[in-house]
Amino acid sequence: MSVYFPQKKLPYLLVLPQLIITAIFFLWPAGQAFKQAFYREDAFGLSQTFIGFGNFIDLFQDPLYYKSMGVTMVFSFSVAFFGIAIALWLAVMADRVIRGKMVYQTLLVWPYAVAPALAGVLWWILFDPNIGPIALFLDRIGIHWNHFLNGDQAMILVVIAATWKQISYNFLFFLAGLQAIPRSLIEAAAIDGASPFKRFWDIVFPLLSPTTFFLLVVNLVYAFFDTFGVIDTTTQGGPDGSTNTLVYKVFKDGFIGLDSGGSAAQSIVLMAIVGLMTVVQFRFIERKVQY
């Protein structure tokens, strides 16, 4: 009997490090945030009052919060769409290249190594209305670029910066996906006289759909949560809140505004939104995915 005894505990022991990490770095802070969402507190934590759902009521009465939600939707879906579309195109092209294949593939992956904040700074300099080469070029062809004032341009800037970084990541997955597609399928279609476009649309794209679906989920989560650095280094949510995404607003209200209760309430709502979105994606979109 004693031979089996350690094995009962062993599995738990082996997952324990992971459980501890999850508990310390996720469950405990999340629990704190949950608690804070129901309190009103001054910045220094000298006084604390329980106010029930007060923070949530404030939040849902704030027109700026709804604006931020809209901004987040536009931003996230743009980043996910362009990130996936451009990466797919590049992957298909790179997959076809015969000479210098490795060079293309390596170079296309590089931007992923750039930290989000740095990516933000790079694009910010390129588009700076006073000194940025791209802004000066646009000015010459008649487009007056000033993301300090123009909310749509500011949005375009953060979408470009956030997408550029994500393209590399998506590219890797698509390339792997493409290489996993049996050559015989495509060759058979080619012999049957299917054009390259038709071969892509009817064979390659459906076979890539698990990858695409996976990337859609990952990209949306990326756009929702990991683009903080890009926004902080470029627009800081401006002008007039036109790039103030939900996650940036959590930071701004909590760490700059020092409103811990309101910020905690926002992060709980944000967590619920992303959870809901992921469930919806798996329930409705995954059905159409062919594995």
Partner 1 sequence: MRKLTLAMAVLGLSLSGSSFATTEIQWWHAMGGANGEELNKIVKEFNDSQDKYKVDPVFKGNYTETMTSAIAAFRAHKQPAIVQVFEVGTASMMAAKGAIYPVYKLMKDTHEPFNPKDYLSSVTGYYSDLQGNMLSMPFNSSTPVLYYNKDMFKKAGISSPPKTWEEVAADSKKLLASGAKCGFTTGWQSWVQLENLSARHNVPFASNDDGFSGIKGTKLLFNGPLQVMHITKMHEWQKSGIFSYGGRRSDSVPMFYSQQCAMYTGSSSAYGGMVKNAKFDFGVSSLPYWASEVKKPNNTIIGGASLWVLRGKSKEQYKAVAAFLHFLSTPKIQAEWHQFTGYLPITHAAYELTKKEGFYKTHPGTDVAVLQMTASKPTVNSRGLRLGNFVQIRDVINSALESVWSGQATPQAALNTAVERGDVLLRKFARAHQ
Distance in angstroms (rounded) separating the CA atoms of residues 152 and 99: 41
Interface with partner 1 in residues 144-173 (CB under 8 A): 148-151
As measured in angstroms, the least distance from the Cβ of 238 to partner 1 is: 7
Helix/strand/coil for 49:
strand
The piece of 94-102, 157-165, 206-214, 239-247 that touches partner 1 (CB under 8 A) is 239-247
Residue 120 within binding range of partner 1, rule CB under 8 A: no
As measured in angstroms, the least distance from the Cβ of 149 to partner 1 is: 4
As measured in angstroms, the least distance from the Cβ of 164 to partner 1 is: 23
Residue 290 within binding range of partner 1, rule CB under 8 A: no
- Of 160, 158, 202, 166, the C-alpha closest to 88 is 166
Residue 41 within binding range of partner 1, rule CB under 8 A: yes
Judged by CB under 8 A, which of 2, 7, 18, 47 binds partner 1? Answer: 47
If the CB atoms of residues 111 and 241 are measured against partner 1, the closer one turns out to be 241
- Of 230, 110, 106, 216, the C-alpha closest to 160 is 230
Q: Give one word for 144, left, alpha or beta, with left for phi > 0 and alpha for psi -120 to 50.
A: beta
Residue 42 within binding range of partner 1, rule CB under 8 A: yes
> How many residues are recorded in the chain?
291
Distance in angstroms (rounded) separating the CA atoms of residues 156 and 164: 12
Contact partners, residue 263, CB within 8 Å, separation at least 6:
250, 251, 253, 254, 255, 257
Residue 257 within binding range of partner 1, rule CB under 8 A: yes
Instruction: Enumerate binding residues for partner 1 (CB under 8 A).
Output: 40-47, 58, 62, 64, 129-131, 148-151, 238-241, 252-253, 255-259, 262
